Each structure stands twice: as C-alpha cells, then as structure tokens.
Amino acid sequence: MSTDKPSRPVTDNPWHLLRRFTDARIGLGRAGVSLPTSRSLEFQLAHAQAQDAVHLPLDVDDLCLQFEAESSLSSVMSTQRLPIQRLHSQASDRQTYLQRPDWGRRLDEASREQLKRATDVPQASYDLAIVVVDGLSSFAVQHNAVPFLRALSDGLDNDDHHWSLAPLTVVEQGRVAIGDEVGEMLNASAVLVLIGERPGLSSPDSLGLYLTWGPRIGLTDAYRNCISNVRPAGLAFSEASRRLVYLLRESRKLGLSGVKLKDRTQDDVIETSESPGNFLTS
C-alpha cells in the first residue's frame, strides 16, 4: 500500500489574511500562472466602477434637493439669503473637460453673469464660500457631499467663531481652481471646494476637500490645504470635519493657507504615544 499523501489541488495562501486590513490588491493567489477567476472579475468590476465614476454626469437637480431638504445643515443653509447657485465651467461637456483641464478651472460667461446678478449687494462679504464641484467623480459628490456638510455644520455650530457663509454654489465640469474664481466673486475670505477625486480601483467614491484663504484667480495648489479620501470606507465625515474646522480656525488667525499652514490635529497622538525603544537592546 502506498503511503504517499494525495496531492492538494489548492494550496493555502497565508497572505490572504492581510486582505482584512486593506483594500489593496494583495494576497490574490494564483491558478497556475494566472490570477484566480474571481480575483480577475473583481478587478474588472473595480475598473468599470472607476470609469463610471468619471463619466457619469452629476445629477444636480437631485443634489440641490438633498441640500434643501437637509434641515440639519443649519450653518450651511440657514444663512442663505439666495438660492443655491448652479454654475458651469468653460468646459461645455465631459469630453472637453477631460481634454482641456484649463477650461475646467474657469467659469463660463453665463455663470459669471449669473453670479454677478445674484450677489449684487454693496459691500457684501463672507467668511467662507462653499463650492461643490463634480470633478473626476460625480459619484463621490452625489453620495458624500450632503453627509459631510451635515458633519461640517455641526462643527461650525460648535465653534466659538460665528462663520458668515456665502450662497452655496454647485459647479458642473469643474476643477479645484474654479473655487478661487467663485470665492473671489463672492468676496469671501476663504473658499472650501468639495470635489470628486480621481477614482482609484478601490475608491470610486473619494471626496476631496480643498481650503484656500484669500481666493483669487491664478493661485496655485501651494496655496491650498487638502483633506483627501473622505468617504464611508475612508476618512470618516466627522473626522474630516474636525480637521477642516481646525484648519479654518488657524487659517483665519494667520491669514493664510497652503504649505505654510500645517494640519496639527494629529500632534497629540504623536506626542502621547510611547516610544518603541531600540529593538536591538530590548
């Protein structure tokens, strides 16, 4: 009788245990020299979701209804003396938007005239203008803008400083820098841009937050502070709001933003953590 053990058709892969801690594609295994069919199909699905996030148009009507129906957005909505301003960049359609990033950074003439008429109030000024932009993932904006603004509203309500807010604006086919033009036209001290970030293969719904003090046309990214990956599976809305309120407070105090303004909301964690010591002598 042979004592040889039967060959196992499937070899256990201990790396798959690490998949519980990350969305990164690790520990995928193999079937012969190829990926297992299930992992290959997962990749194709993620790729399709990323493409959909880029090309799916933002449902502005639905988004504005969500804003207007969200009674808990007291700080964001209750100070509105004007309806939500629906604007458009110089990129007329999605194809143009993808091919001409520079056109996505400026408002078209109709939007500029609309904003001038809507804000034709002598010497009106605001502490903060909030600009919602579709960016490279309308999916992220459609699903995450309202929950984040709900959290931000709570944060602003609890802040010692009263924040006067400009009329809320929603921009189609826009890039981050379009917020500078909107903020300048609204005479706002600071502008916050909520924008759909370039989708990854595990994050088609990532929302980005960009804060700029003293917005004006021509500023570079060096003048902005960014909080990225705001979504249910990424940075929680409450934590993103906490970091943003801190940056707003510091930005107002120092009169600046960007590379000269550091996010120190995690400093207490670093300072109170115990030193691991020297592993060579332990």
Instruction: Convert the pLDDT of each residue in 169-221 to its tens digit.
Output: 999 999 999 999 999 999 999 999 999 999 887 788 999 999 999 999 999 99
Residue 186, by phi and psi: left (phi above 0), alpha (psi -120 to 50) or beta? Answer: alpha
What number is the average pLDDT over the span 258-279?
Answer: 67
Express as a percent the part of the chain with pLDDT over 70. Answer: 85
Mean pLDDT of all residues in 269-280 = 50
Order the strands of the 224-230 sheet from edge to edge.
85-88, 169-172, 126-133, 188-196, 207-213, 224-230
Structure tokens at 157: 């309500």
pLDDT of 279 reads: 42
For CA atoms 92, 94, 99, 102, the dihedral sign is positive
CA 94 to CA 105: how far, in whole Å?
14
Domain boundaries, the chain: 58-118+126-263
Say what the pLDDT of residue 171 is. Answer: 98
Q: CATH topology for 58-118+126-263?
A: Rossmann fold (3.40.50)
- Mean pLDDT over 73-90 rounds to 73
Across 275-279, average pLDDT: 51
* DSSP symbol at 64: H
Distance CA 22, CA 185 (A): 43
pTM: 0.82
Instruction: Kindly state the average pLDDT of the residues 67-92.
Output: 76
pLDDT of residue 8: 61
The pLDDT assigned to 112 comes to 96
What is the pLDDT at residue 31?
80
DSSP 8-class letter at 220: -
C-alpha 89/C-alpha 35 separation (Å) is 43
Q: What pLDDT score was predicted for residue 71?
A: 59
CA 29, distance to chain mean position in Å, is 33
d(CA 105, CA 257): 19
pLDDT greater at residue 133 or residue 116: 133
- φ and ψ of 268, to 5 deg: -65, -35
Of the pLDDT bands very low, low, confident and very high (cuts 50, 70, 90), residue 282 is: very low
Using one digit for the tens of pLDDT, what is the confidence trace for 2-21? 556 556 666 777 777 777 77
Confidence of residue 239 (pLDDT cuts 50, 70, 90): very high
* Share above pLDDT 90 across residues of the chain, in percent, rounded to a whole number: 57
- Cα–Cα distance between 140 and 237 in angstroms, integer? 13
pLDDT at 16 (0 to 100): 73
Q: pLDDT tens digits, residue range 83-121? A: 899 999 999 999 999 999 999 999 999 999 999 887 766
| 122 or 155, higher pLDDT | 155
Contact present, 191 and 257 (Cβ < 8 Å): no
Q: Is the pLDDT of residue 133 over 90?
A: yes
For the residues 149-167, what does the mean pLDDT come to? 91
In 123-232, beta strands by DSSP E: 126-133, 169-172, 188-196, 207-213, 224-230
pLDDT of residue 90: 98
Write down the H helix ranges in the chain: 37-55, 60-69, 74-77, 94-99, 109-118, 138-157, 178-185, 237-254, 267-272
Mean pLDDT (the chain, rounded): 86
pLDDT for residue 78 is more than 70: no
At 43, list the tokens: 């990749």
Buried residues in 120-150 as b, exposed as e (16+ CB within 10 A): eeeeeebbbbbbbbbbbbbbbbbbbbbbbbb
